[in-house]
Amino acid sequence: MFAIPRRHPSRQVQVASLLVGGGAPIVVQSMNSRPALDIEGNLQELEELKKAGCELSRLAIPTKESLKAFEEIVSRSPLPIVADIHFDYRLALAALERGAAALRLNPGNIRNQEGLAEVAKMAKRKQVPIRVGVNAGSLDKRIIAEEGGVNAKSMLRSAREALGFFEALDFDDLCISMKASHGPLLIAANALIAEACHYPIHLGLTEAGTKEKGAVRSAAALAPLLYAGIGDTIRISLTADPVEEVHVAYDILQALGLRDHGARLVSCPGCGRTEVDIRPMAARVEDYIRTIREPLTIAVMGCPVNGPGEAREADYGLAGGRNEYLLFAKGKILHKVKEEEAFGALVQLIEEGLEDESEE
Binding site for ligand SF4 (CB under 6 A): 268-271, 273-274, 301-303, 305-307, 310
CA 72 – CA 93 distance, rounded (Å) = 16
Give the residue with the Cβ less far from ligand SF4, 168 or 305.
Answer: 305
Give the residue with the Cβ less far from ligand SF4, 60 or 300.
Answer: 300
Q: By CB neighbour count within 10 A (0-12 exposed, 13-18 middle, 19+ buried), where does 268 fall?
A: buried
Give the residue with the Cβ less far from ligand SF4, 291 or 323.
Answer: 323
- As a whole number of Å, the CA-based R_g of the chain is 23
* Residues sharing a CB contact under 8 Å with residue 121, sequence separation 6 or more, in sequence order: 169, 171
Q: By CB neighbour count within 10 A (0-12 exposed, 13-18 middle, 19+ buried), where does 138 fall?
A: middle
Least spacing, CB of residue 324 vs ligand SF4, in Å:
14
Least spacing, CB of residue 320 vs ligand SF4, in Å:
7
Give the residue with the Cβ less far from ligand SF4, 116 or 301.
Answer: 301
Q: How far apart are the first and last CA of the chain?
A: 35
CA 216 – CA 183 distance, rounded (Å) = 11
Give the residue with the Cβ less far from ligand SF4, 76 or 312.
Answer: 312
Least spacing, CB of residue 299 vs ligand SF4, in Å:
9
How many residues does this entry show for the chain?
A: 360
DSSP string, 210-226: BHHHHHHHHHHHHHHHH
Least spacing, CB of residue 298 vs ligand SF4, in Å:
15
Give the residue with the Cβ less far from ligand SF4, 199 or 325.
Answer: 325
Least spacing, CB of residue 303 vs ligand SF4, in Å:
3
Give the residue with the Cβ less far from ligand SF4, 200 or 320.
Answer: 320
Give the rounded distance of the alpha carbon of 108 from its chain centre. 24
Least spacing, CB of residue 319 vs ligand SF4, in Å:
7
Least spacing, CB of residue 286 vs ligand SF4, in Å:
16
Phi, psi of 19 (to 5 degrees): -95, 135
Report yes or no: 201 and 232 within 8 Å, Cβ to Cβ.
yes
CB nearest ligand SF4: which residue? 302
* Residues sharing a CB contact under 8 Å with residue 145, sequence separation 6 or more, in sequence order: none
Helix or strand holding residue 20 (H, E): strand 18-20
